[in-house]
């Protein structure tokens, strides 16, 4: 496998027609690189949840995929509005998703807990109104 590999994806706010594309490309790339399929599955789930959160809850942002030796990093950053209470946001079932979003099947309040479960290391940092940064590390 190549020693280092980096890709960046922009994620638009409320752009539901391309939402999920970044995660799909990440999954495809890791498959091509021969990463173990159970690790790919965890990364696909975590990056999908991160991508949807940027699309649904933020003003837009980006996702970085970085493969460095035996670790894969998925890092996200968005342009606001940030999360008031991160501990609350990390709680299973807690969501601020509105009616329209819930009708589409989002808003179970499971996205952030899913990410944390899937990643070997999970870090979240958020500031109102600047934005939210998430760093997830997966050991290959």
Ligand X SMILES: Nc1ncnc2c1ncn2[C@@H]1O[C@H](COP(=O)(O)OP(=O)(O)OP(=O)(O)O)[C@@H](O)[C@H]1O
Of ligand X, another protein, Mg ion, none, which one does residue 129 interact with (CB within 5 to 8 Å by kind)? none
Does residue 91 sit in helix, strand or coil?
coil
Of 9 and 48, which CB lies nearer to another protein in the complex structure?
48
* Binding status of residue 53 toward ligand X by CB under 6 A: yes
Task: Give the interface with Mg ion as residue ranges (CB under 5 A).
Answer: 53, 111
Binder of residue 74, out of another protein, Mg ion, ligand X, none (CB less than 5 to 8 A by kind): none
Q: Which residue has the tokens 């009616």?
A: 99
Spatial distance between the Cα atoms of 115 and 113, rounded to a whole number of angstroms: 5
Strand order in the sheet with 131-139: 4-11, 61-68, 71-78, 131-139, 121-127
Q: Which stretch binds another protein (CB under 8 A): 5-13, 21-29, 62-70, 129-137?
A: 21-29
């Amino acid at each position: 496998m190549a020693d280092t590999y980096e890709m960046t994806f922009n994620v638009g706010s409320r752009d539901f027609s391309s939402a999920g594309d970044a995660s799909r490309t990440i999954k495809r790339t890791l498959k091509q690189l021969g990463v173990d399929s159970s690790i790919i599955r965890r990364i696909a789930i975590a990056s999908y949840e991160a991508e949807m959160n940027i699309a649904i809850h933020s003003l837009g942002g980006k996702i970085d995929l970085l493969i460095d030796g035996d670790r894969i990093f998925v890092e996200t950053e968005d342009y606001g509005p940030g999360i008031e209470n991160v501990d609350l946001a990390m709680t299973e079932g807690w969501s601020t998703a509105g009616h329209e979003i819930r009708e589409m099947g989002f808003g179970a309040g499971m996205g952030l807990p899913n990410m944390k479960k899937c990643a070997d290391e999970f870090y979240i940092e958020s500031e109102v109104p600047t934005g939210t940064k998430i760093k997830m590390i997966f050991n290959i």
